[in-house]
Chains A and B, each alone.
Chain A
Amino acid sequence: MSIMELNGGSCVAMVGKGCVAIACDLRLGNQALTIACNHEKVFAATERTYYGLPGLASDTITVRDKLRQRVNLYAMKEERTIEPETFAHLVSSTLYERRFGPYFIEPVIAGINVKDEPFIAAMDLIGCLNFAKDFVVSGTASEKLFGMAESLWEPDLEAEDLFETISQTLLNAVDRDAYSGWGAVVWVIEKDKVTKRWLKARMD
C-alpha cells in the first residue's frame, strides 16, 4: 500500500503556441474503492497560472490551501500577481520545507507569463523542479501519460489542437489505469482567455 497511490489520480500539462493546457482526472478513491468522481486536482493560482496536485488527497487540499495563502501574501507584499516561474519556485520551497516529512503530492504547473510566453513545470514530492519545454505528467497513470504524450505531442500546437492532444493523452492513459479516470477536466490557458472543459470519459 503506497501513500502516493492510496487515493489515485493523475495530471498532465502541455505547451502550445502561445498557450498552455493542464488537465486532471476526477477520481477520488480509497485503494480500489471509488469514493467520488467529482474530485478536481487542478486549481488556479492566478488568472493565468494553474497547478495540479495529484497524490494523497488530504495533502492535495492542505497544500492547495497553503499555496492560496502564500500567493495572496505575495500579491499583498509585491502589489502584483505572481509569475508562473516564481510560483513554481514558491511551490518547490513550500514542499522542501517538509523535506523529512513530505507532503505526498507531485505538482504540475502551467501558466503564461507577463511576456505572454507559455510555461510549464513539474516537481517531485520534495520540490525538485523539472522545467520541461514540451509536457509534464504526474500521478498514478504517469507512465501511460508519458507513452501517450510522447507519441501525440508536437511543437507549436494552436489552442484547439492542444486541447485535443492533451484530452486524448489523458483519456487514453487513464483508461489503462485502475486508479485514475472517472471523468476529466481540461484547462486551456491563452494570453487573453482561459477555457475549462469537462470531458466525457469511461466511467469504469
Chain B
Amino acid sequence: MEVSFGITGKDFVLFASDTSAARSIVRMKSNEDKQKVIGKHLVMAYSGEPGDTVQFAEYVERNLRLYQIRNHLPLRPSSAASWTRNQLATSLRSRKPYSVNLLLGGFDPTNTTPELYWIDYLGTLGVVPYAAHGYGAYFALSTMDRWHKPDMNLEEGLDLLRKCVDELEKRFIVNLGEFTVRVADKDGVRQVNLKSGEAVVPV
C-alpha cells in the first residue's frame, strides 16, 4: 500500500512518499520518512518489504559516502543509479534477495540536468521524466502523462504533484495520510511542505 512519486522539471527533481508505516491492516506510525538524501543533490525514495527497505537504503547511503571519501568526488546520479541497480540485480539471484523498489534521482551539477531513475527489486532501471511506485502508479501516471512538461518550474511541479495526491485521496480506498516531499536542485536537497510549498525546517 506504499506510494512514491518522482517528477523532473526544468532544473529540479521532486520526490514524494507517503508516511505510513503499516503492519497488516494496522498503521503503526504516520510520520515515517521513506526517503534518503544520499548526496549533495541526490535523493532516493524507497518502498517494499519492511526491514529490507531501511537496510538496503542505508547500505546504498554508506557506500555512496565511502566513494565520496575515497575519491573526493561524489558519484553522478546516473552512476549512482547504475551502481544501485547492480546491487539489486546481484541480490536478485542470491539466497535472500532484497525486496526494495526505488526512485533515485537528483540534479547533476556537471551537466546541469535533472535526472530520475525508476528502479524495481528485479534490478530493472528506467530513465524517466516522471515515475511512480506502488498502487499510486495506477492512479497518478495518467495524470502525469497529461500534465507533465519537461520545462516546468518548481511551482508547476508541485501543482502536478498535488494533482496526483488529490487523485489518490479521491479514488484510492486507502488513506495514506501526509506526504513527504523533497526537492533536489542546484542548491542541494530540501524538504518542502506539499500544501504551502514552503521549505520545512528540520526540528
* A residues apposed to B, CB below 8 Å: 6-7, 28, 30, 33-36, 38-39, 56-59, 61-62, 65, 101
Contact = CB atoms under 8 A, between A and B. Distances in A.
A185 B83 CA distance: 27
A39 B124 CA distance: 11
A90 to B, nearest CB: 20
23 contacts: A28-B126, A30-B124, A33-B138, A35-B118, A35-B128, A36-B118, A36-B127, A36-B128, A38-B127, A39-B126, A56-B124, A57-B122, A57-B124, A57-B125, A58-B92, A58-B122, A58-B123, A61-B123, A61-B124, A61-B125, A62-B86, A62-B123, A65-B86
Given A62-B89, A101-B93, A35 B123 contact: no
B93 to A, nearest CB: 7
Interface size class of B (residues with CB under 8 A): 10 to 19
B120 A30 contact: yes
A111 B141 CA distance: 38
Contacts of A65: 86
B131 interface: yes
A7 B89 contact: no
Contacts of A101: 93
> Which residue among A33, A58, A61 has the maximum number of chain B CB atoms within 10 Å of its CB?
A58
Contact of A61 (B89, B93, B118, B128): B89
A61 B85 contact: yes
B110 to A, nearest CB: 22
CB-CB nearest 7 A-B residue pairs: A58-B123, A36-B126, A58-B122, A57-B124, A58-B124, A36-B128, A28-B126
Contacts of A34: 141
